[in-house]
Structure 1
């Protein structure tokens, strides 16, 4: 994300910790029945961090803990050097945009936005003036007198964001902020949200299931599974080097583990793969489904080093291509054009040969 001035990611030394002068420094421990969240999270002022993970991973619990809506059973929460662990939600310098926005239905857009400043002690006139300025900044000045039921989904999302920002929060929490929007509106609102976050000077934490939202909006991704961090880094790093099956599926890659001897990797589930990297020891091997070519019979005279006998387990439309799930010698996914799939006569149970260019298979240390 392009920001004005120095980015939070730069200030945080690559996102490894919040500086002493400000930002977020949290160790969130929440016990809820048999589930335990144990998550260390830091961010510098100006940095946007996205929490990604499957359902039940603990993302929303982490967000509620940051907001003060879920009490910590251990750990700590510091924001700009101030201890917030035991401070009630209403006294924290935190703004929240919920998935369903939770606008007050009986208030106008203007009064929804003014609500936060009023709760912080601003006079009615001052709060309404600040709210009007925020609505203008969001391109909603002409909707100031509208109640939520008269707003579109995109307009309601921007009112909710304005309400969260009107209190000048030092921590902005975004809980699936685009999930309630249709595909077309989501595209527009995502671009608008990106512009607002690019100039936000405090810390923002985004929870999302959508990898595109995370890749577009965040400086750093923190992937959570079973209440713990399994990987974190820049969107580019995580997209190129996934370390769990969940992340690989998220970014659309086949992922396997094995042991490398030079450019040959003996996979844990059987066959070998020739890759571009010269490594030794435990590695991950990742390659995109569109790097896999399917053949109706074993290619004659083929010099392909990566060639496996497989069976079609299932097929589904994936964008403008057909995603083919394969079992057999090496379970994997392949992307084909509809023409290629038709020419091969594919259906569940069809036996095929799958080949992979070594140049498209990348290995990296496990």
Structure 2
């Protein structure tokens, strides 16, 4: 590993088998009442994101891959080699920690050269390699600067260069953009995407930011409560959420029930008409912007879905108003501020909510 230690579901659709290239891991870690049990696979050149709320086990999984947290059970295989018994410094793994953990007494150049030097590369050669990496990161003019003289974005790129300088077969990134302000995050995210596109080994990104996962990853594994609850491409995750957590992240109303043709009868008793036929256990989802709100029961609406609701709350979100509705079907609705004012909406107001069937997606549970 090239970075200093901070102190010493369903299987993914990737490679499998003891001799397969890439990552094949089953991570079991027990810490008090918490248990992590996640299977991860990824092919060389693939960026895998672990997405989940705080406390879900994402960072524990990353530390287990790095060898910083011991496994209770399971395995870690990389390019066919078993790593679970290898100490961190002997694993072909590079890590970019959330706080970067650059050596404060070393220049940017020497921070990047540290990993190759630990591998036995002569000093002059290691510094030449480091200079090349800093140049690739657009930091050639900052080679002599120490970490305290670097901006957050520059420090992140030095940490990435340090992790890549040893040519790792597994790159681990722990919330790599979390410490940056919004403007810097946008710039560094774009640069990180370019560098990851050129990386020919496996990269695993841990994040709670859905935008980071959607922009940077080829595949996303959603982790909740120590388990993988969903696994797919970013587009599939966004279009077909399978838990309330994911639905909130991507901004959809999500329900579960049983489909009978175009009608899905929900576990709570309500029914939703969707676009397309389906039979059996199903999810239904639609965006808050698809909801039309009326103060009186509409008589001329062509919408197939109609529910009597009550306004539980209103929240301004930019130029829109987010309504929290309860009643026959609890849901979120987005209205313009003008529409909310015209409807004289307030907590406790009785309303009718409609959604066209064409705007409702149903898919197997």
**TM-score, with structure 2 as normaliser:** 0.94
1:220/1:232 contact within 8 Å kept: yes
Task: Tell me the distance in 2 between the aligned counterparts of 1:319 and 1:149.
Answer: 36
Instruction: After superposition, give the CA deviation of every residue in 1:242-292 in whole Å (9 maximum; x if it has no partner).
Output: 111111111111000111111111111122111112112211001011100
Q: CA deviation at 1:107?
A: 1.2
Q: Name 2:104's counterpart in structure 1.
A: 105
Q: Name 2:206's counterpart in structure 1.
A: 207
Q: Name 1:251's counterpart in structure 2.
A: 250
Correspondence 1:93 to 2:92: yes
Q: Would you identify which runs of 4 or more consecutive aligned residues in structure 1 move more than 6 Å? A: none
Q: CA deviation at 1:319?
A: 4.2
Deviates more, 1:293-302 or 1:234-243: 293-302
Q: Name 2:228's counterpart in structure 1.
A: 229
Q: Name 1:326's counterpart in structure 2.
A: 325
Task: Tell me the distance in 2 between the aligned counterparts of 1:15 and 1:44.
Answer: 9
Q: CA deviation at 1:18?
A: 4.5
Q: Name 2:118's counterpart in structure 1.
A: 119
Instruction: After superposition, give the CA deviation of every residue in 1:292-319 in whole Å (9 maximum; x if it has no partner).
Output: 0111221133343211111111222334
Correspondence 1:67 to 2:39: no
Instruction: After superposition, give the CA deviation of every residue in 1:127-150 in whole Å (9 maximum; x if it has no partner).
Output: 111111000000000011111111
Task: Tell me the distance in 1 between the aligned counterparts of 2:318 and 2:52.
Answer: 23
Q: CA deviation at 1:355?
A: 0.6
Q: Name 1:268's counterpart in structure 2.
A: 267
Deviates more, 1:126-135 or 1:297-306: 297-306
Task: Tell me the distance in 2 between the aligned counterparts of 1:151 and 1:320.
Answer: 37
Q: Name 1:171's counterpart in structure 2.
A: 170
Q: Name 2:14's counterpart in structure 1.
A: 16
Task: Tell me the distance in 2 between the aligned counterparts of 1:124 and 1:317.
Answer: 58
Q: Name 1:288's counterpart in structure 2.
A: 287
User: Unaligned stretches of 5+ in structure 1?
Assistant: 1-13
2:14/2:43 contact within 8 Å kept: no
2:302/2:356 contact within 8 Å kept: no
**Other structure's SS at 1:133 match:** helix
1:15/1:44 contact within 8 Å kept: no
User: Unaligned stretches of 5+ in structure 2?
Assistant: 1-11
1:15/1:220 contact within 8 Å kept: no
Q: CA deviation at 1:338?
A: 1.7
Task: Tell me the distance in 2 between the aligned counterparts of 1:21 and 1:210.
Answer: 31
Q: CA deviation at 1:117?
A: 1.0
Task: Tell me the distance in 1 between the aligned counterparts of 2:207 and 2:120.
Answer: 33
Q: Name 1:5's counterpart in structure 2.
A: none
Q: Name 2:6's counterpart in structure 1.
A: none
**Other structure's SS at 1:168 match:** coil
Instruction: After superposition, give the CA deviation of every residue in 1:125-173 in whole Å (9 maximum; x if it has no partner).
Output: 1111111100000000001111111111111110110010011100000
**TM-score, with structure 1 as normaliser:** 0.94
Q: Name 2:303's counterpart in structure 1.
A: 304
**Other structure's SS at 1:280 match:** strand
Q: Name 1:9's counterpart in structure 2.
A: none
